[in-house]
Amino acid sequence: MSSGDGVDAGAVRRPPEPADPVERLLKEYPELGALGVDWLRTWAPRAEKQIVGIAKVLRRFPWMAELIGQGPVGLVNPYSVEAYVARDGSEACISLFGWAYCSADGGVNVRRLELEFSRLEPHEGGVREVYRPKRRSIFARAKEYIRIL
């Protein structure tokens, strides 16, 4: 039933959305706390779409958020963060500071994994980038990696 002023008296009131974009991002993506509020305040106005992409990857691979929380991310530009997943799903990697941090089981094995572009392939109405290790390595478990960020 309406109270006459256009507001439904039976409607549940929701708290207002935070006006601060950083607060809003942290509310929606708590994983971003690993990056730090100061970092988010610096980059959110210019790179919110990229930061949301990072958040989605951190949500999918929580070990990456733990890893980031341990290091000095203040020097990382959100556009320099890259993430890859092995084509067969056996491994995921995040690249920061030129090092790839990879995990096959949720535990983090830090190693340098140099990838080179292999090709573009059609994927869900668009294209995606496929990479392969530059050299044969005991650390590269997969033959191909798909860039997800």
In a domain, 67, yes or no: no
In a domain, 11, yes or no: no
C-beta atoms surrounding 89 within 10 Å: 9
For residue 19, the model assigns a pLDDT of 74
In a domain, 115, yes or no: yes
For residue 77, the model assigns a pLDDT of 87
Q: Considering the entire predicted model, what is its pTM?
A: 0.78
- From CA 59, how far away is CA 54, in angstroms rounded? 9
For 90, the token pair is: 């056996």
For residue 24, the model assigns a pLDDT of 93
DSSP E strands in the chain: the ranges are 82-86, 92-96, 99-103, 109-111, 115-123, 126-133, 145-147
For residue 89, the model assigns a pLDDT of 86
In a domain, 136, yes or no: yes
| Domains: count for the chain | 1
**Structural element, H or E, at residue 141:** none
In a domain, 124, yes or no: yes
In a domain, 35, yes or no: no
In a domain, 86, yes or no: yes
Residues of the chain with pLDDT under 70: 1-11, 15-18, 72-75, 97-98, 136-142
Domain housing 99: 81-149
